[in-house]
Chains A and B, each alone.
Chain A
Amino acid sequence: MNTFVTETVSILTNAAMLFVVAAGLTLVFGALRLINMAHGSLFMVGALTVASLASGLTGGWGFAVALIAAVGLCAALGAGIEISILRRLHDREPLAQLLATFALVLVAADLAQRVWGTSDRTVATPVAGRFSVGGAVVPEYDLIVIGIAAAVALGLWLLLARTATGWRVRAAVEDPETLSVGGTNLALLRTSVFALGAGLAGLAGAAIAPLESVGPGLDTQIIVAAFIVTVVGGLGSVVGAALGAVVIATVEGLGTLWVPSYASSAGYLVMILVLAVRPWGLFGTPDR
């Protein structure tokens, strides 16, 4: 029972973090039809921002401020990237956009090293409390991460399914011309969605900072994980991202328990199996 609760909480925490990263990636794909390889770089910037602010801003509220700052910075960076680079490539083939964001990964990795250095940092847990459930001790911070993911899921669902903006985001891919004729500022819409996706990457990075060591290499590590989750769930589907996050976190969590040396390969195997059966992912739509 003890280990069951501990493992479940750790898998859910992992899934929560994966979901927040993947949600941003899939949201951007849904509205702009581009895969942002630099999504992991924004995640890293979020984590590093919190790491450098953490010494000055301690405690729960201090961390909350650092978190908001990280999200704001990443969203602003995202808006800048969309306006200065991706907007120019919007009418080009998907390869051009993929390569442009790949170029940003390289640029961001070196810039981040310039700003934050090459050493790994650790961030003290802002909420040190623990409580016990069924005999197992669970860190409160894990519940906060899960709570953040739940809030993101709810917020995205409300935005996409219940507001006119969400309706426009979905229409931006289906029929951009009609939408544009109807008075929607498509450019602004795309920039906003990209900034929101970037902000989510920053949020996930900031939230994970107290749980992992933060340093160079975090970007490529997380982007591959985020790709797996979004592709398993189906690109463009937020529900798919949630399901994918739970599936991958579970597979990796159980893998760590049962076959420790192959746990890291398990996620890739799941992705390959899913794509072999459904090449567009569980909740995706077939390619045109």
Chain B
Amino acid sequence: MTVLEEKIPPATARPAPRPAARLLPLLAGAAALALLAAAPYLVTVSAILSLEQVAAFAVFAVAANLLIGQAGLVSFGQGVFFGLGAYTVTLGWEHAGLSFWEGFALAPVLGAAAAALIGLVALRARTLYFALITLAFSQLFYQLVEQNTGFTGGANGVFAPVVPAWMESPVEGYLTLLGIAVAALLALWWLYRSDFGLLLRASRENRARVQALGTNVYRLHLLAFTVSGAFCSLAGAMFVVYNQGSNAELFDWTTSGQAVLMSVIGGMYTFAGPVVGAFVYQFGHDWLVRYVSDWQLVLGGVLLLVVILRPDGLAGALRRPGRLRLSGRLELPSRLRGRK
């Protein structure tokens, strides 16, 4: 019996959700959104700035998790696209005279193009080799950006008044980022739920079988890598609003590692997991650094516990009591059985 067969529940195992159950995630989502929109009027300025970061990191983590959790491709190189997005905005402003929004629109396009080219090479490698080759790309970009001081500003990065003045106030900046994040996450949610997302999950569970059924898995993964690159790049452009600039560390593999961390801690088999992860990561950091200097120690410890005890992360743990669809594991649904 193959893995795929084991994972598909019998057609009768899951009754059609009642209308109320369908409404619940919508209501929960709307309530969360209302709370997030009201947040800047309720919390301190430093918390608003943290929320700005969370908005960018949530998009970054969900986009990275499209590869990690959905396709089973562990990339330690998504920082490349995050950095590329940030630098598109800042360098576009500095060298090409692009406005913030022009650079912002260009970022996902360049991210997709770069991801398509990198994916072409990186996806030839499998599993651990893939993780390491993406890591190598991350470091390559980091070195190139740091060395080309004349063009990129080197280790100092580019810090310039690129963000429109009205967005520099935390409340406006945050609300704009929140709007963009919601739009990006809705687009990603639609992707997760589409046949494309379904195929990605199938390729994670049993690559050979998906290939045998007539899908070119290499091309499928290349498409996923490209889409992920575009959204990671968008997240990088969002990050500029918080950061007021771009620095070489954004390309470093530890930035890529952050996306992996958020996905895993939040729950990589769920859509909302990485968003939860981004919140926990950021506010856990903000809260802990007040009391202890060893933030990484705690982070590593938490990651270790999650990996050993709860491989499905916090969202997986949340899911146990109820059946919140938004945080439910995106299993191969039974409708697959009726198709193809």
Chain A residues with a Cβ under 8 A of chain B: 35, 85, 88-89, 92, 94-96, 98-100, 102-111, 113-114, 220, 224, 227-228, 231, 235, 261-262, 264-265, 268-269, 271-272, 275-276, 279-281, 287
Whether A275 pairs with B294 at a CB distance below 8 angstroms is no
Whether A269 pairs with B264 at a CB distance below 8 angstroms is no
Whether B303 pairs with A102 at a CB distance below 8 angstroms is yes
Whether B254 pairs with A220 at a CB distance below 8 angstroms is yes
Question: How many whole Å from A47's CB to the nearest CB in chain B?
Answer: 19
A100-B308, A109-B296, A235-B128 known; A265-B144 Cβ under 8 A: yes
CA distance A85 to B307 in the complex (A): 10
CA distance A220 to B147 in the complex (A): 19
Whether A272 pairs with B308 at a CB distance below 8 angstroms is no
Of the A-B pairs whose beta carbons lie under 8 Å apart in the complex, a sample of 5, sorted by A's number, is A99-B260, A107-B297, A224-B253, A231-B132, A265-B143
- For A286, the closest partner residue in chain B by CB is B126
A272-B140, A287-B126 known; A103-B297 Cβ under 8 A: no
Whether B131 pairs with A98 at a CB distance below 8 angstroms is yes
Residues in A whose Cβ lies below 8 Å from that of B135? 224, 227
Residues in B whose Cβ lies below 8 Å from that of A271? 133, 136
Q: Which of A99, A108, A113, A264 is within 8 Å of B147, CB to CB?
A: A264
Residues in A whose Cβ lies below 8 Å from that of B260? 99, 102
Whether A261 pairs with B147 at a CB distance below 8 angstroms is yes
CA distance A264 to B147 in the complex (A): 9
- For B146, the closest partner residue in chain A by CB is A264
Q: Which of A94, A104, A113, A287 is within 8 Å of B300, CB to CB?
A: A104
For the complex, is B186 an interface residue (Cβ under 8 Å from A)? no
Closest 8 CB pairs of A and B: A106-B300, A107-B300, A110-B297, A268-B140, A103-B303, A287-B126, A103-B304, A110-B294
Q: Which of B126, B133, B147, B257 is within 8 Å of A272, CB to CB?
A: B133
Whether A103 pairs with B253 at a CB distance below 8 angstroms is no
Whether A275 pairs with B125 at a CB distance below 8 angstroms is yes
Q: Which of B121, B122, B128, B136 is within 8 Å of A268, CB to CB?
A: B136
Residues in B whose Cβ lies below 8 Å from that of A88? 308
Whether A269 pairs with B140 at a CB distance below 8 angstroms is yes
Residues in A whose Cβ lies below 8 Å from that of B294? 110-111, 113-114
Whether B139 pairs with A102 at a CB distance below 8 angstroms is no
For the complex, is B231 an interface residue (Cβ under 8 Å from A)? no
Whether A95 pairs with B308 at a CB distance below 8 angstroms is no
Interface 0/1 of B285-315, CB less than 8 Å to A: 0000000001111011101100110010000
Whether B136 pairs with A279 at a CB distance below 8 angstroms is no
Q: Which of B295, B297, B308 is within 8 Å of A111, CB to CB?
A: B297
Question: How many whole Å from B115's CB to the nearest CB in chain A?
Answer: 15
Whether A272 pairs with B296 at a CB distance below 8 angstroms is no
Whether B296 pairs with A107 at a CB distance below 8 angstroms is yes
For the complex, is B87 an interface residue (Cβ under 8 Å from A)? no
Residues in A whose Cβ lies below 8 Å from that of B72? 95
Whether A92 pairs with B311 at a CB distance below 8 angstroms is yes
Q: Which of A113, A235, A272, A279 is within 8 Å of B137, CB to CB?
A: A272
For the complex, is B101 an interface residue (Cβ under 8 Å from A)? no
For the complex, is B124 an interface residue (Cβ under 8 Å from A)? yes
Whether B133 pairs with A100 at a CB distance below 8 angstroms is no
Whether A107 pairs with B132 at a CB distance below 8 angstroms is no
Question: How many whole Å from A256's CB to the nearest CB in chain B?
Answer: 13
CA distance A71 to B262 in the complex (A): 34
Whether A100 pairs with B307 at a CB distance below 8 angstroms is yes
- For B308, the closest partner residue in chain A by CB is A88
- For B140, the closest partner residue in chain A by CB is A268
CA distance A231 to B260 in the complex (A): 21
Q: Which of A96, A231, A261 is within 8 Å of B307, CB to CB?
A: A96
For the complex, is B127 an interface residue (Cβ under 8 Å from A)? yes
Residues in A whose Cβ lies below 8 Å from that of B304? 85, 100, 103-104, 107
Whether B297 pairs with A268 at a CB distance below 8 angstroms is no
Whether A275 pairs with B121 at a CB distance below 8 angstroms is yes
- For A35, the closest partner residue in chain B by CB is B128
Question: How many whole Å from A111's CB to the nearest CB in chain B?
Answer: 7
Residues in A whose Cβ lies below 8 Å from that of B295? 110
Interface 0/1 of B114-130, CB less than 8 Å to A: 00000001101111110
Question: How many whole Å from B156's CB to the nearest CB in chain A?
Answer: 16
Told that A106-B296, A231-B129 touch, could you supply 19 new A-B pairs with CB distance under 8 A?
A: A35-B131, A85-B304, A94-B128, A95-B68, A95-B72, A98-B128, A99-B260, A100-B307, A100-B308, A220-B253, A227-B135, A227-B136, A231-B136, A262-B147, A265-B143, A268-B137, A268-B140, A272-B140, A287-B129
Whether B136 pairs with A228 at a CB distance below 8 angstroms is yes
